[in-house]
Structure 1
């Protein structure tokens, strides 16, 4: 079973997580109820491309883990959550400091609970918009989430030996 730490501990742990840390991605805020996450990237010489803009993969890494972890934080360890599809649309060069806030409302999570209450699966689409410090849209990242109740030992088929 997956158990996430508190939102505060999670914020610090994700900011220190090497793939995000070395890319320059900083987790600025995680709501105590896991309904939102705000992330920033300060574009520097080590995380920019030959045009002086943020690498596209770095922009995508700002959103990659969070849409899968927010429902896990709200639903708890009795559910499994995967990102099944993802994409990003680059709209302008990301320079300076870029930010995004990802949101997953309680109503959206309640809908996921209702769809999965009988053991079914839920697939939902989510979008995060990345902005530069002037408020200009730099990119839009999308992810599809697959959620289902976790199987317990009682659900597992028995194996005769």
Structure 2
């Protein structure tokens, strides 16, 4: 699926749509994603700032999708764990920008040998307000491993 079609489809996906989350861009090479969350009456918490679950949801699928789309089909990529640190109240429109570097992909390839080693790689992303101040930091840890039927065919 092309990036533009995925973006349109995900923007209609109920968990994102009904939380007020909007994917602004997905680059054609799946190395950059920009997401925003506008403040509405239905995504505020008791004290009037963004509901923490919505802040987390705006970051949930992207690292896994980006890594999967940039590795070949010989890899299995799963979300392993996630943490969120709330840094200050999130009000108004907040956004997150995901950038996947070639160095990160090289690191993953280097740690996932043809023997089938599992590699746990963490990816942080800041959620920032309209002034660029971080309101939360989410760290996703991915479980990355070569698929069993490809382990002995790859490498030297």
For normalisation by structure 1, the TM-score amounts to 0.87
Partner residue of 1:31? 27
Partner residue of 2:112? 116
Matches for 1:148-159 after TM superposition, within 5 Å: 148-152=145-149
Partner residue of 1:146? 143
Partner residue of 2:51? 55
Partner residue of 1:159? none
The partner residue of 1:126 within 123, 128, 136 is 123
Partner residue of 1:65? 61
Structure 2: stretches of 5+ with no match in the other structure:
none
- Residue 150 of structure 1 deviates from its aligned partner by 2.1
Alignment pair present for 1:136 and 2:133: yes
- Residue 66 of structure 1 deviates from its aligned partner by 0.6
Partner residue of 2:36? 40
**1: CA distance between counterparts of 2:139 and 2:52?**
14
- Residue 131 of structure 1 deviates from its aligned partner by 0.5
**2: CA distance between counterparts of 1:75 and 1:51?**
42
The one-character-per-residue Cα deviations of 1:42-76 (angstroms, maximum 9, x if unpaired) are 01001111211110010001111111110001113
SS in 1 for 2:148: coil
Partner residue of 1:158? none
- Residue 111 of structure 1 deviates from its aligned partner by 1.7
Q: Size of the alignment, in residue pairs?
A: 151
Partner residue of 2:102? 106
**2: CA distance between counterparts of 1:6 and 1:110?**
23
For normalisation by structure 2, the TM-score amounts to 0.90
- Note the aligned Cα RMSD (angstroms): 1.7
